[in-house]
Amino acid sequence: MQNEYIMKYLPQALSDLNDILDYIIHELKNPIAADNFADEFDEKTGSLTQHPFIGALYKLNHKFDYEYRQLFVGNYTVFYAVIGNVVEVHRVIYTARSMDELV
């Protein structure tokens, strides 16, 4: 039997997600795309409770106490860490942005 991990979204990740959905709905005026993104985000991040190490390791220029992993959802990168039996989602960032400054 495979262990199931607990998902935890840090406040910054929730803020990122809220900003993304707000942008898609209000700036792009595309609520259907926002719903589709939210569904894909839920599906992909939800799979981390069964397969937390599926995301690629993210190589940072500076040292952290844990390994960051990245999962791609549409045009966005989800940064997370596996700490014990918890998958912590730290950031959700537009993939074209400079990641090292934001993570």
Using CA atoms, how far apart are residues 100 and 55, in angstroms rounded to an integer? 17
> Other CB atoms closer than 10 Å to residue 46's CB: what's the count?
10
Phi-psi domain of 62 (left: phi exceeds 0; alpha: psi -120 through 50; beta: other): beta
Query: Can you give the residue ranges of every domain in the chain?
Result: 6-102
Question: Tens of pLDDT along 51-81?
Answer: 999 999 988 746 677 888 999 999 999 999 9
Strand partners, 103: none
Using CA atoms, how far apart are residues 20 and 18, in angstroms rounded to an integer? 5
Please report the sign of the dihedral spanned by the C-alpha atoms of residue 58, residue 63, residue 67, residue 71.
negative
Indicate the pLDDT class of residue 1, thresholds 50, 70 and 90: very low
Instruction: Write the CATH number of the domain with boundaries 6-102.
Output: 3.30.2310.20
Q: What pTM was estimated for this model as a whole?
A: 0.87
